[in-house]
Amino acid sequence: MACAIAILMRRIASEVCLIDQNLDRASAEAEDIQHAGIFLGCPLVTSTSDFYKLKDSAVVVIAVCETKPGEELNVKHNVEVFKKIIPIIAKVAYKAVLLVVTQPIDVMSYITWKLSKFPSSRVLGTGTLLDSSRFQDLLSQKLGLARTSISCVNIGAQGDSVSIWSSIHVAGTRICDINPRMGQADDPEKWCDISAAVNKTEAELNRKKGKRGPSCWALGFCTAEIVDAIVRNTKVVLPVSTYVHTCIHGTDKDVYMSLPCVVGQGGVHSNVRQDLNNYEKEALQRCANNIRDVLRECGILYEPIDVLQRLFGLVTPQ
Ligand SMILES: NC(=O)c1ccc[n+]([C@@H]2O[C@H](COP(=O)([O-])OP(=O)(O)OC[C@H]3O[C@@H](n4cnc5c(N)ncnc54)[C@H](O)[C@@H]3O)[C@@H](O)[C@H]2O)c1
């Protein structure tokens, strides 16, 4: 719901259709929003449990989930749900961009790409845009600066992301030129605590929200930002989950994970190469390995884990 509300509040869609297997819930939510349509530019807000309503959609946001608040994320179950729904979505909304919100986002984005048989440019996940926003917020508090004055990004796996300290800048000045160990474990100023806090935020919020979790308002606004980029072809650079070819950004194997991408009409236009330091490259490779491990556990990838390579560091990031 957070995604739908954010999209409607930004007035970027003339029609939003809520699709849920729980038709009562979808129709009640749609009716509730429709009552305030006058304040939202009078969009059409509809509901159904029938995926055929997706015909002619520009963007399909996939946020299905059956995990109850407080329950462990069941990835294998999500994979089974996706095996049922993605082929139907791809058949009906064959021109759409598929935007994946279901966690774990990078894993589910990869699965959506495979099951939809769409070009990878038209399948993306909200990825580390949320992590990056949280990072920017915490940095702005610590530096005492407006968020808009801080350029920073988290990449890799959503919820286990890598803060790219080497590229953070304020008015063109790289802040790691002031403290080159910024973000690293041996930094006496312990800036790395901010990165750790970003990755703990989700669990902490869900714990505090308790039974009312896990709806995430910030995720809704991140989703709306990506939808806006697609429908208005803004070509904004956002860290989203995308197909990463072997060796791009130093990873040794293909994977879906978050990198800064140019997002516009049709999805991801390209990704932006970053000059990462060795510390960041290693952390990114660990993210890629973890994502691929989950894909293997779900029976999506079949190659064995090369334990020797991992143990002895034979895979050197480029
Ligand atoms: N950090 C993040 O990126 C982040 C944060 C919060 C939530 N999320 C993700 O957002 C998603 C949505 O969260 P929410 O709080 O709105 O969950 P929710 O439980 O309120 O809603 C999920 C809906 O999916 C529907 N559904 C399940 N299986 C379906 C199927 N086969 N066909 C149609 N509908 C189906 C359910 O009926 C339910 O209404 C979750 O997958 C969650 O993992 C991501």
Domain boundaries, the chain: 1-125, 128-298
The rounded Å distance from CA 52 to ligand 1 centre is: 19
- 34-86 pLDDT per residue, tens: 999 999 999 999 999 999 999 999 999 999 987 766 677 788 899 999 999 99
Q: Check if CATH label 3.30.365.10 holds for domain 128-298.
A: no
Q: Ligand 1 centroid to 49 CA: how many Å?
A: 14
Residue ranges in the chain modelled with pLDDT below 50: 314-318
Tell whether residue 233 is among the known ligand binding residues: no
- Would you state the structure tokens that stand for residue 2, as one six-digit string? 């957070």
Question: Ligand 1 — pocket residues by CB below 6 A?
Answer: 1, 20-22, 25, 63-66, 81, 85, 101-103, 105, 126, 130, 158, 202, 214-216, 219
Distance from Cα 78 to the centre of ligand 1, integer Å:
10
| pTM score of the predicted model | 0.93
Contact present, 136 and 106 (Cβ < 8 Å): no
Contacts of 11 (CB under 8 A, 6+ apart): 40, 41, 43
250 Cα to the center of ligand 1, angstroms:
33
Whether residue 78 is annotated as binding a ligand: the answer is: yes
What CATH homologous superfamily does 1-125 map to? NAD(P)-binding Rossmann-like Domain (3.40.50.720)
The structure tokens listed for 267 are 């999805």
Instruction: Give me the pLDDT at residue 209, please.
Output: 85
